[in-house]
Structure 1
């Protein structure tokens, strides 16, 4: 009987750990990540998977940057948001 009790206790501990991991992943999945460029005047927001959800470009950025530099700044802001999402994932699931 003792072996069965120990096995049940280990199983319950595993199930509790799995629930905690599932909750942590759900919380991470719901988060939003922001990256900025051009001194914060361009702001990109992505979800945990890197899907672009919002892009804000200050009028000053539009006025002072030519098309190529504006595109580069937008790309940089998005990349920074994606990097923030990846860093959060790595903190949650090291080695994943």
Structure 2
């Protein structure tokens, strides 16, 4: 019966580890990541997969930048948010 008890203990440990991993992934996937540009006046937010879920552009940025500079700043903010999401993903899913 010792073999059976030992096998059950190993199974319980595996199941507990799987539950912890599942909880960590669920917590990570609910997170949001932010990237900023133009001294924080442009802010992009992505989900854990790097999908853009929000973009805030301060009126000052819109007024003082031409279309090309504004597009570059928006792109930079999005890339920073995506990089933050990727960095967090690497710690949860090595």
Range class of TM-score, shorter chain: over 0.9
TM-score, normalised to structure 2, is 0.96
Provide the rounded CA distance (Å) in 1 between the counterparts of 2:68 and 2:3. Answer: 68
Which consecutive unaligned segments of at least 5 residues does structure 1 have?
none
Quote the residue 1:16 is aligned against.
Answer: 16
Does structure 1 residue 82 correspond to structure 2 residue 82?
Answer: yes
TM-score, normalised to structure 1, is 0.94
Provide the rounded CA distance (Å) in 1 between the counterparts of 2:89 and 2:12. Answer: 26
Does structure 1 residue 56 correspond to structure 2 residue 77?
Answer: no
Shift of 1:51: 1.2
**Total equivalences in the alignment:** 94
Shift of 1:64: 1.1
- Structure 1: 4+ residue segments shifted above 2 A: none
Quote the residue 2:42 is aligned against.
Answer: 42
Provide the rounded CA distance (Å) in 1 between the counterparts of 2:76 and 2:89. Answer: 20
Cα RMSD (Å): 0.7
Provide the rounded CA distance (Å) in 2 between the counterparts of 1:93 and 1:53. Answer: 22
Provide the rounded CA distance (Å) in 2 between the counterparts of 1:76 and 1:59. Answer: 18
Provide the rounded CA distance (Å) in 2 between the counterparts of 1:47 and 1:36. Answer: 15
